[in-house]
Structure 1
Amino acid sequence: MDEEFVFKFLNQNLLGCDLVFSFFTSAVNSLRSDSSVRPFPPMYFKEDGIEKDFNSLRSICNSMPPLRDLPFLPNMEKHIQLLTWLYTKCDPISYTFFTQKFNENEFPLNISGFNPKCIFKINHSSSSEQSWNARKGTFNTSLAFHGSQLDRFYSISRVGLQQIFSTKTNPLFGEGIYLSKHLSTSIIYAPYGAGWINSIIGENLSVVAVCEYIDDISKQRKLKDSRGSTIKGMIVVTDSDYIRVNYLLVFSKKIKSISGNGNIKLIIILLFVFLAIILYSNKFLREFKMFK
C-alpha cells in the first residue's frame, strides 16, 4: 500500500516530490537539525520515544536513489516508508511546478533581472484556505519576498513561517517575520545550501518564498534604521497566522536532466568522435605506407 501511495505521488508530481525531499534532506543534515526537522518522522524516535535517531535517518536520506528510479530498485522498504510519511501523512502540501520558461510578466511580483530555475506554486488545502479566509475577513492581502537558509524550508513548508526563524537571524531589528517588496533584498538572506545529491533540480539550491500577508496594521510594525527613519519596501509581520507562503523561487547552480537524455547525447557525440579518430588514423596509416 505504501508503494502505491509513493509511486502515485511521484508519477503525478516528480519535481514537487523532489523539492520536498531536498528540503527534508537539507534539514536532516543541518548542524541545527534538531530544530530544523519539524515535524519529525515518528518511526525514527528511539525506544524511549523522546530521543531522535538522526544517524539512522541520515543514512536513509543519504542513500535515497533518484526518485524516478525508485520503482525499479529492490530493498527500498525503509526508503518508501519515509517517503510515504513525508508525502501523505505529514500534512501533505501540493507543489505545482511552473516551467523554466515561465513568463515573468505573468508573475504577481517583479522578478525581472533574476532567473530562477524553477518556480513552484503551493496549493493550500481547502481547510487551510477556509481558515485563511476567516482570518482575513474584510482586510486586503499583499505579496512580498522572504529569503531564508535552505535547511529552514522543510519546516517553513510544513508549519509555516515562524518568528523564531527571524529573531535568530535579525536580532538587531526585533521580533517579527521580515518581508521585502524587492527580490534583490530578500535573496541576500537566501544563500546557496546543500540539498540532496540526487535531486533532479540541483544539488545546491537557494530559495526565496513569495508570501501573502494580511494587511492588518495591528499585526505589523515598521522597520526603522539606526537614525529612526522608516525603511521603505520592508514589512515586519508580528503574527505567524497572518502570513503564508504562496510561491517558491528556486535557484540552482546546476540543474539535472529529468529524462537523462543529456547523458545519452553526450555518449553518442563521444562515440562519433572516437569513430572519426579511428577512420582518420586508418587513412593516415594507408597513406603513410604508400609514401614509404
Structure 2
Amino acid sequence: MAAPMKLVVKWSGQEYEFTEVSGTDTVKDLKEAIHEKTGVLPQRQKILGLKFKGKPPGDDVQLCALNIKPNTKIMMMGTREETIIAANAKPTDIGEVVDDFDIEDEEVATENREEYLQKVEHRVRKYEIKVVNQSRPGKKLLVLDVDYTFFAATNMKWIEVKMRELGVAENPNYKIAFMVDSRACITVHTQKYGIIETKPLGVIWGKYEQYNPKNTIMFDDLRRNFLMNPQNGLKIRPFREAHKNRYHDKELMKLAKYLRDIAPLDDFSHLNHRHWERYKPPST
C-alpha cells in the first residue's frame, strides 16, 4: 500500500488538511474526500494547479502521476448546492431592470465551468493589479464598479485620471487598495445571450489570500457581471445622467448603512444581497 500523502486544500478562505490520501488514490478519490469536508459536490469542484501532461488531470488519474510534493497547498473553486439555490432564488420585489438579465439556471452554473475557471487561473498568473494602497490585514473587501456607478471608463489610463479628478484616489476619509481594469474580465458564452463579458472575483482571490467568497461583496449595475460569483454580487441602479441625478441618487448612501450592518459578520455567504434593503442586523 502506498504511503499516505499530506495535502492542504484552500477553499472559501479556509484550509483543509488531508492526511489519509495516498499516491494510488485517484483525482476522483480526492474530490470525494474534499466533498466530505467542504460539502461541495465533486462535479462542482475545480482544483487549480494540478497538471497531467500539461493539462488538468482526469478523474481516473492517480495522484502519484501528478508529482505532488509533500504539504502541497492547492486551491479548490466550487459552490455548495444550497448556495447555488439561494443565488438562483427569484425575488418577489423586482424593480426596474435596465439593460440586464436575470441569472437563470444556466447562468448560475457558469461559475463552475472548467473552461472559464481556466481563464480565471490564467488571469491570476498574468494580470497585474494596480496597487494604490496596501491592504489592511483582517479587513473585508468591497469591490465597486466604475461604469455607471461612478462614471464611464474601462481602461486603466482613464480610470486613474477620473479617480484623481473625482478626488477618490487621495480622499482623506478612505483609501482605495487597488484598481482593476477590463483586462481582468473574461468572456463567457450563455445559451440565451451569447458571448458576454463578466468580472470574476476569483482573479482578486487568487492574488490576495486574505480575500475570499466569505468576506467580499461587489456593487455593480449589471447582474451579468456576477456570473462567476453570483453570491457575492449586489446589483444597484445605474447612475446615469449625473448632471440631472446627482442630487437625487442616494442609493450608495443607503448602501453604506447596509455595509455597516453586515461588517461584523464573519461570513457573507449566507446573505441574499437581492434583498439588502430588508436586511436587519442580529440583535446585540
| Rg comparison, structure with higher value | 1
Does the TM-score normalized on the shorter chain lie above 0.5?
no
- Scaled by the length of structure 2, the TM-score of the pair is 0.30
Q: Which has the higher relative contact order, 1 or 2, with Cα contacts under 8 A spaced 6 or more apart?
A: 1
Q: Which has the higher helix share?
A: 1
TM-score, length-normalised on structure 1? 0.29
